[in-house]
Amino acid sequence: MVLAATCSQNCNFEISMNGVRKQQNDSINYLCVIIDNKLSWKPQISCHSGKLSQACGVVCKIRHFADMKILRLIYFSLFHSHLQYCIIDGGRAHKTVIRPVQALQNRILTYMTFSNRTSSANNIFKLLKILKVPDLYQLNLKSLCISIMPISCPLLSITFFQNCTTYMIIAQDNKF
């Protein structure tokens, strides 16, 4: 295997194995996680946005025939499951990258409650006891830190974990 690099502003690598030159890709799909060469998570989020949009369509069609319990069940099975997948990695992306996902989450909640699309979604989140995308990221990040931290290790930063119990209570309420 031979690596050759030419650096100006961007580093371009040429990889050849047994004399065969390998082509450089902008992104790679590994275990349904799309990682691009800039680690911006845009391809991953755009892929999930299509699936989340389909879930919005399902809720919009079925909301006239189902009660809130069924709609929450559909939300957590179709929408939240895609949202939960890779939130630890994709949640660190820039706000402009995550904004379409937040907009889709607001849209599905307004469909579920028959609310006006221009009204604020904050009250709907509280009413349905559903976490917003940044809060879901914080919950999963804190849960990961707690799970990998040894029991004998003292908490280094109390402020990092201060909202964790609130998130945990909301997450426990959302389990069926």
The 3 state secondary structure assigned to the chain is: CEEEEEECCCEEEEEEECCEEECCCCEEEECCEEEECCCCCHHHHHHHHHHHHHHHHHHHHHCCCCCHHHHHHHHHHHHHHHHHCCHHHHCCCCHHHHHHHHHHHHHHHHHHHCCCCCCCCHHHHHHHCCCCHHHHHHHHHHHHHHHHCCCCCCCCCCHHHCCHHHHHHHHHHHCC
Model confidence pLDDT, tens digit, residues 63-108: 999 999 999 999 999 888 888 876 766 677 777 778 888 888 899 9
pLDDT of residue 3: 37
Tell whether the model's pLDDT for residue 26 goes beyond 60.
yes
- The answer to whether the predicted template modeling score (pTM) of the entire model surpasses 0.75 is no
Higher pLDDT, 126 or 176: 126
Question: 36 Cβ partners below 8 Å, 6+ apart?
Answer: 26, 27, 42, 43, 44
The pLDDT value recorded for residue 63 is 92
How confident is the model at residue 140, as a pLDDT? 81
pLDDT tens-digit series, residues 40-65: 777 777 777 888 888 899 999 999 99
